[in-house]
Structure 1
Amino acid sequence: MAQLEQPRKGDAHRLAVSSAQSEQAWSEYLHSNRAKTLRYAQHEVIFYEGDPADRIYEVAEGAVMLYKLLPDGRRQVVEILGPNDLFGFPVSGLHDCAAETLVPTVVRMLRRQDVEDTADLQQHVTRCLLSQMETLHDHAVLLGRKSALERVATFLMRFVPNRGGPGCTGPQDEDADDCVVHLTMTRQEIADYLGLTIETVSRVISEMKRRSLIRIEKQDRIRILKVCDICHLTGAH
């Protein structure tokens, strides 16, 4: 039987130093003249599926959705990206999905070849991708196993800071467990992300309102009245 190699003394320190070096290299690259800063309006396409992919992008401000279109026009939003998230690096030389802003967005554009030629930049990209891969695993579970109510609850919890994850310790005040969620997506975009129809999303939101779980304050703002109650509806407990 193969033996697992035990961590050696000093490994943690070396990893920490290496991580710090890669973060510094990434920051220096972004502030160099090799990286470009681009500003996009709301719902502006950054690239389409099938476009040449020789650049890597990082969200600096705002939000971006990645989506694929089926031949009959149906759309599946495959990923929602926020500040510091990376996108635009398929295995092939062509983009495998389209990227569109959800709100006015600032994006940093990097040459893919620069990243591939620099070990510290590669390390930063790898670390970011591993984190984003965890999010995609959770989304696969949502699409494959969760009910409509669980999907919408999971979506809302995504915007509640420091709650709902493995390290969640619950509310600091049981009598004030509310949170305002600012939505950057339309009902149709939410439906396309959750694999539901817009009618189903609207029905679930109405059901949550009827049960006094949420309150609609504006078209793009929802107040979760009891975060713990919404969290328990995600199916993760």
Structure 2
Amino acid sequence: MSDSDMHQEAADLLASIPYFAQVDAQTLSAIAGSATRRSYTADQVVLLEGEPSSGLFVVQEGWLKSVKTSPEGREQVLRVVGPGDVFNAIGALASPTNPGTVITLEPATVWILQRENLLRLLEEHTGLAWMVIQALAERVQQLMSQVEDLSLRSVEARLARLILEEATGESFIRQRWDTQAEMAARLGTVLDVLNRALRRLAADGIIKVERHRILILDQEQLAAIADLDT
């Protein structure tokens, strides 16, 4: 791929992201010209917690997870990101180091906007600054909701909410990388506890677990578990 093609590819991707909705075409082209494209294999570390932040990352292809790991090696997934998502905004804007570790769940391609370039753009474009502030506020709300779930809701309730939030119609299609071990990490639990929760919901006729999907048989009851089991 030629440099001009890569430049246009980056510009097209950035133009589709709300962060850059208020940025004019000329500035967007300049941002794209300064961006760096990187590709990763599955299960590869993209960012390591505590290392100097290199900038803002935009996902072009693939899925990645942001995690915190306990001294005992237990992993808590903070967020899963896919095509069109942005990550490491806190590291790029508010902290000199990466706040978490990011690992690919499958082969992935990202574009990196260097921290220095991003800070300069925020000074020059108030529209972009407001979009970033809004996105950061939404991320804080998501983290607060996650803390509430982990503190106040049972694994079964967290599982019910995950299925409902990510289902299309009455079917929760699992990505290739979304093993039950990954689901357990996303829910802040361990595999045995997750399996028991799945079996209980299935035994009660609320869901049906298949190899690559979970069918919702009783959406009303599943919603009641997600909302009321605190």
**When the two structures are superposed, what TM-score results if normalisation uses the length of structure 2?**
0.76
Shift of 1:72: 2.4
> C-alpha separation between the residues in 2 aligned to 1:214 and 1:26?
48
Q: Secondary structure at the match of 1:95?
A: coil
Contact 1:146–1:235 (8 Å) recurs in 2: no
Decide which of 198, 202, 217 is 1:225's aligned counterpart.
Answer: 217
Question: What is the one-letter code of the residue matched to 2:112?
Answer: M
> C-alpha separation between the residues in 2 aligned to 1:59 and 1:21?
13
Q: Secondary structure at the match of 1:233?
A: helix
**Length, aligned pairs only:** 202
Q: Return 5+ residue gaps in structure 1 as ranges.
A: 1-19, 162-176
Tell me whether 1:182 sits opposite 2:174 in the alignment: yes
Shift of 1:22: 4.6
User: Deviations along 1:19-63, whole A, 9 cap, x unmatched?
Assistant: x99514287258722122323232221111122202111223332
Decide which of 93, 98, 101 is 1:98's aligned counterpart.
Answer: 101
User: Deviations along 1:73-106, whole A, 9 cap, x unmatched?
Assistant: 2222222223333222323322121001223323
Q: Secondary structure at the match of 2:210?
A: strand
> C-alpha separation between the residues in 2 aligned to 1:147 and 1:21?
35
Partner of 1:16: none
Change (3 A) 1:80 1:26: farther
Partner of 1:133: 140
Q: Return 5+ residue gaps in structure 2 as ranges.
A: 1-17
Shift of 1:193: 2.4
Contact 2:31–2:113 (8 Å) recurs in 1: no
Change (3 A) 1:105 1:53: same
> C-alpha separation between the residues in 1 aligned to 2:187 and 2:112?
29
Partner of 2:152: 145
Which 4+ stretches in 1 moved above 4 angstroms? none
Partner of 2:81: 81
> C-alpha separation between the residues in 1 aligned to 2:131 and 2:107?
26
Question: What is the one-letter code of the residue matched to 1:82?
Answer: G
Partner of 1:23: 21
Shift of 1:142: 0.6
Q: Which range moves more in the overlay, 200-209 or 27-36?
A: 27-36
Tell me whether 1:123 sits opposite 2:134 in the alignment: no
Question: What is the one-letter code of the residue matched to 1:23?
Answer: A
Shift of 1:232: 1.9
Change (3 A) 1:34 1:216: same
> C-alpha separation between the residues in 2 aligned to 1:227 and 1:31?
45
Partner of 1:111: 114
After superposition, the CA RMSD in angstroms is: 2.6
Question: What is the one-letter code of the residue matched to 2:131?
Answer: H
> C-alpha separation between the residues in 2 aligned to 1:32 and 1:22?
11
Tell me whether 1:39 sits opposite 2:46 in the alignment: no
Contact 2:39–2:110 (8 Å) recurs in 1: yes
Tell me whether 1:59 sits opposite 2:56 in the alignment: no
